[in-house]
Amino acid sequence: MNQQAITATPPAAGALANLSRRHFLGASGALVLGACLPVASANPKAKASVPFQPNLFLSLGPDGTVRVTAHRSEMGQGVRTALAQIIADELEADWSRVAVDQAPGDAKYGDQNTDGSQSILRNYDRLREAGASARLMLRQAAAARWQVPVEEVRAVNHQVTHAASGNSADYGELAGDAAALPIPAQPALKAIGEHRYIGKAVVHVDAADIVRGKGVFGADVHLPNMATAVVVRCPWLGGGVKRILNEPKEAPGLVAIETLEPAPSAGPVFAPLGGVAVVAEDTFSAMRVARDLQIEWTDSPNRGFASDELRSALRSALEKPGAKVPGAEKGDVEAAFQGGGKQLSAIYETPFLAHAPLEAPVAVADVSVAEKRCAVRAPLQDPQAARGLIAQSLGYPLESVSVTPTLLGGAFGRKSKPDFALEAVELSRRLGRPVRVQWLREDDIRHDYFHAASAQFHRAVIDERGLPQAWLQRTAFPSITTVFAAQASAPAGWELEMGFSNLPYETPNRRMESAGIRAGVRIGWLRSVCNIFHAFSANVFADEMAAAAGRDAIEHRLAMLPKAGKLAVPGMQPPPGHELDVERFRHVIERVRALSEWARPRPEGTGLGFAVHHSFRSYVATVLEASVVDGRPRVSNAYMVLDCGTFVNADTCRAQMEGAVVFGLSLALHGDIAMRDGAVLQSNFHDYPMLRMAEAPATKVELVPAQDRLPAGVGEPGVPPVAPALVNALFAATGKRHRSLPIRV
């Protein structure tokens, strides 16, 4: 298995081209492939030393090393490994001879935003075709060399063989010949049963370097003559520097004190927040000066923002009808409520949340004003978007800007916003030398793009079995669109599609409503986004319906579902082939019931809680076993079943579910960002804690074999069911129902 050091050297540049999300070949794809061939490959007398680079994503050298170019960012989710697995499998490569290079931000790769659990979903087909094309070309090269029909030639494990003649050749020997051949338009792909790497457990290609301290993260990038900057930012959004009260004339290691203009107070998009940048020869010197600065800040409309007032406003928004979700209404909800029957209602609340990745934002920029060029290395989820914003900020042509991601020490959506990279670019431009901007943990937590606080209202009329005969649902939260538009407030359709408008439960009468409100902080997407609060309220309310009828929670949930079929949803539609399949939804429920031994009696004071959710085109069912020990919730065991369709790396899928349990429990038990006078009150892990090892449960994960189905998300869909499963488990254990997060026992 290849555990060589991973380089960040991009492959040879080719012509720019826009690639579709699902198809790599075809009319436009063939042009892309051709444009990416080395010039020498057009020469029929190509020498054996010519590298074989049939497409954007792989090249083969004369030594037989296959170099896969990963165009997505690695943040611990194993995407560089998975992309390489797909190509290597179809190429029939020897995994020990595969290396991975990191692609820079460039439109020729298509969408590079490593967000939304879509890397495999969007790239599976075209990467398989890339590997299959190269395999066929190697077979064709061997067949031509041996003057035999290509149908008689096989390619297996880095070797091309011809059984009848006994001829064989290593891939490296054929690289030059293959480079001269035309790109096949429709290469045959392997059957599912022929896969050697896809669907298997493979150690991450970055693992060895990371555990040995050789992995290159943002803070590991060092350039000659590089300075380091720490920025002191205004506590409230939109405030700028009025004056520095104690600006030092000199200090050990100090290079400069630079004032950065503030971002707009409304709709800041990804602009830097502004502040006072302390630039020094080393990080400690910059931190020391920054710590002692006294700054008077200008006012902004967000100066008085308070999270308690926003949560109160969200609750108030639920007291009156909101905007109806178009196409979601069914029957007559009001008539059903007036008709009597057993009624339930509840309000559920979740707070602001911070991403808090282990690695705080950091970026290295090297700007040459004279040459009008800029190079950035940083832990970025979307290097292509960052490249465009940097070019725009400098007024440089796009081709003069390069942006290459390092390894990301966690991200969860935060590092898809390149504000920290833009800070480094501006300071490098001013100082005429490379600059690394290093955010501190306190900066990261206080100046995040926060996950929105929310409030949900559910009201239902239930029959004797606890099944809803009428169901009114209202959701209220600050929309992510408020970051992009100064006048935006209403939730977007894609936000409602995250666990609200696409619930699969049956009821003859239904209405869904939404309300938005602007917050005085930046709102952003965090791992699983709006699914967090929508899955929380829907799963807990369903559990409350079951409890009111005295029914088993899982039996009740199955009874709420149609027997089969694809869910018809209002508004935003899923991609073809990714409609919510009720049978798959039911299947993960049945499997988690068996995995958790749901019917097995637990000790007194221990309860089981169940939740299920469909998000990012995957299905996840969860059971948690919990109790209250010394006045604190204690989760002893977690059980998760994941159906993500075709999966590439089985170990990665299990690890993502295990990580989702830790992430989800951190949010449920500890996550709470509060603001007063426009400023965030939390600052570090002492007052915004993550789950500790002693709190983490034993976790069992089952993957549903579904390699005949389209691939779907893995990194995010495990998070939404965790918090509601915990709340339901605590109710089973204690009889107390929690409707607000984080849980306070």
Query: Do 170 and 63 contact (CB within 8 A), yes or no?
Result: no
Q: How confident is the model over 691-741, as pLDDT tens digits?
A: 999 999 999 999 999 999 999 999 999 999 999 999 999 999 999 999 999
Report the pLDDT value the prediction gives residue 46, as an integer from 0 to 100. 36
> What is the DSSP-derived secondary structure letter of residue 108?
G
Report the pLDDT value the prediction gives residue 19, as an integer from 0 to 100. 29
Confidence of residue 37 (pLDDT cuts 50, 70, 90): very low
**Is the Cα dihedral 46, 52, 53, 54 positive or negative?**
positive
- Provide the CATH number for the domain around residue 167: 3.30.365.10
Q: How confident is the model over 213-251, as pLDDT tens digits?
A: 999 999 999 999 999 999 999 999 999 999 999 999 899
> What is the DSSP-derived secondary structure letter of residue 369?
T
What distances in angstroms separate CA 744 from CA 19, 348, 681, 737, 741, one per listed residue? 49, 14, 19, 11, 8
For residues 416 and 510, what is the distance between their CA atoms, to the nearest angstrom?
Answer: 37
When pLDDT is averaged across residues 303-320 and rounded to a whole number, the result is 98
**HEC sequence for 385-446:** HHHHHHHHHHCCCHHHEEEEECECCCCCCHHHCCHHHHHHHHHHHHHCCCEEEECCHHHHHH
Tokens of 303: 């100066």
| Average per-residue pLDDT for the chain | 92
> Ramachandran region of residue 82, left (φ > 0), alpha (ψ -120 to 50) or beta?
alpha
Domain assignment present for 20: no
Residue closest to 470 by CA, chosen among 512, 513, 509, 511: 509
Q: Which domain holds residue 57?
A: 26-211
Confidence of residue 4 (pLDDT cuts 50, 70, 90): very low
What distances in angstroms separate CA 500 from CA 55, 117, 315, 341, one per listed residue? 41, 19, 18, 25
When pLDDT is averaged across residues 562-570 and rounded to a whole number, the result is 94
> What is the DSSP-derived secondary structure letter of residue 41?
G
> Ramachandran region of residue 78, left (φ > 0), alpha (ψ -120 to 50) or beta?
left
Would you call 387 exposed, middle or buried from its count of C-beta atoms within 10 A (0-12, 13-18, 19+)? buried
Whether residues 325 and 397 fall in one domain: no
Structural domain total, the chain: 3
Whether residues 42 and 111 fall in one domain: yes
What distances in angstroms separate CA 372 from CA 139, 369, 384, 398, 739, one per listed residue? 46, 5, 19, 11, 56
Report the pLDDT value the prediction gives residue 162, as an integer from 0 to 100. 98
Domain assignment present for 502: yes
pLDDT at residue 95 greater than cutoff 70: yes
Whether residues 198 and 227 fall in one domain: no
For residues 138 and 171, what is the distance between their CA atoms, to the nearest angstrom?
Answer: 7
Give the type of residue at 165: S
Report the pLDDT value the prediction gives residue 1, as an integer from 0 to 100. 33
Whether residues 162 and 230 fall in one domain: no
Domain assignment present for 597: yes
Instruction: With H, G, I as helix, E, B as strand and everything else as coil, classify residue 232.
Output: strand
- H or E element, residue 258: strand 254-260
Whether residues 82 and 229 fall in one domain: no
| Burial per residue of 398-420, b for 16 or more beta-carbon CB atoms within 10 angstroms, e otherwise | beebbbbbbbbbbbbbbbbbbbb
Instruction: With H, G, I as helix, E, B as strand and everything else as coil, classify residue 200.
Output: strand
Tokens of 459: 């009201």
Global pTM reads: 0.92
Domain assignment present for 742: no
Whether residues 103 and 249 fall in one domain: no
Q: How confident is the model over 475-505, as pLDDT tens digits?
A: 999 999 999 998 899 999 999 999 999 999 9
Q: How confident is the model over 155-167, as pLDDT tens digits?
A: 999 999 999 999 9
Query: Domain end: 411, 438, 465, which one?
Result: 438
Confidence of residue 50 (pLDDT cuts 50, 70, 90): low
When pLDDT is averaged across residues 438-446 and rounded to a whole number, the result is 98
Whether residues 202 and 261 fall in one domain: no
Confidence of residue 266 (pLDDT cuts 50, 70, 90): low
Residue with tokens 């091309």: 160
For residues 129 and 233, what is the distance between their CA atoms, to the nearest angstrom?
Answer: 48
Phi first, then psi, for residue 80 (nearest 5°) are: -65, -40
**HEC sequence for 131-193:** HHHHHHHHHHHHHHHHCCCHHHEEEECCEEEECCCCEEEEHHHHHHHHHCCCCCCCCCCCCHH
Report the pLDDT value the prediction gives residue 268, as an integer from 0 to 100. 74
Q: Distance of alpha carbon 742 from its chain centroid, rounded?
A: 23
Residue closest to 97 by CA, chosen among 108, 106, 88, 86: 88
pLDDT at residue 431 greater than cutoff 80: yes
For residues 468 and 194, what is the distance between their CA atoms, to the nearest angstrom?
Answer: 47
For residues 320 and 295, what is the distance between their CA atoms, to the nearest angstrom?
Answer: 44
Report the pLDDT value the prediction gives residue 191, as an integer from 0 to 100. 95
Report the pLDDT value the prediction gives residue 33, as an integer from 0 to 100. 28
Give the type of residue at 64: G
Residue with tokens 């949803």: 569
Domain assignment present for 588: yes
Angle at 551 between CA 546 and CA 556, to 5 degrees: 60
For residues 596 and 613, what is the distance between their CA atoms, to the nearest angstrom?
Answer: 17
Domain assignment present for 89: yes
Tokens of 119: 């890397």
Whether residues 60 and 160 fall in one domain: yes
**What percent of the chain stands above pLDDT 70?**
93
Whether residues 573 and 491 fall in one domain: yes
For residues 404 and 420, what is the distance between their CA atoms, to the nearest angstrom?
Answer: 14
Q: What pairs with residue 346 in β-bridges?
A: 458
Q: What number of H helices and E strands is found in the chain? A: 17, 27
Query: Do 160 and 688 contact (CB within 8 A), yes or no?
Result: no
Instruction: With H, G, I as helix, E, B as strand and everything else as coil, classify residue 570.
Output: coil
Report the pLDDT value the prediction gives residue 16, as an integer from 0 to 100. 24
Whether residues 171 and 248 fall in one domain: no
Whether residues 504 and 640 fall in one domain: yes
Q: How confident is the model over 617-646, as pLDDT tens digits?
A: 999 999 999 999 999 999 999 999 999 999
Q: How confident is the model over 191-200, as pLDDT tens digits?
A: 999 999 999 9
pLDDT at residue 267 greater than cutoff 70: no
Query: Do 83 and 67 contact (CB within 8 A), yes or no?
Result: no
Instruction: With H, G, I as helix, E, B as strand and everything else as coil, classify residue 49.
Output: coil
Q: How confident is the model over 381-412, as pLDDT tens digits?
A: 999 999 999 999 999 999 999 999 999 999 99
- H or E element, residue 126: helix 119-146
When pLDDT is averaged across residues 519-541 and rounded to a whole number, the result is 97
Phi first, then psi, for residue 198 (nearest 5°) are: -65, 125
Domain assignment present for 43: yes
Residue closest to 267 by CA, chosen among 492, 487, 515, 420: 487
Whether residues 315 and 181 fall in one domain: no
Residue closest to 238 by CA, chosen among 44, 518, 615, 476: 518
Residue closest to 85 by CA, chosen among 52, 118, 51, 119: 119
Q: At what angle do helices 119-146 and 79-91 cross, to 10 degrees?
A: 30
Instruction: With H, G, I as helix, E, B as strand and everything else as coil, classify residue 728.
Output: helix
Could you report how far apart the first and last alpha carbons of the chain are, in Å? 48
Query: Domain end: 211, 244, 265, which one?
Result: 211
Query: Do 404 and 366 contact (CB within 8 A), yes or no?
Result: no
Domain assignment present for 549: yes
Query: Domain end: 153, 182, 211, which one?
Result: 211
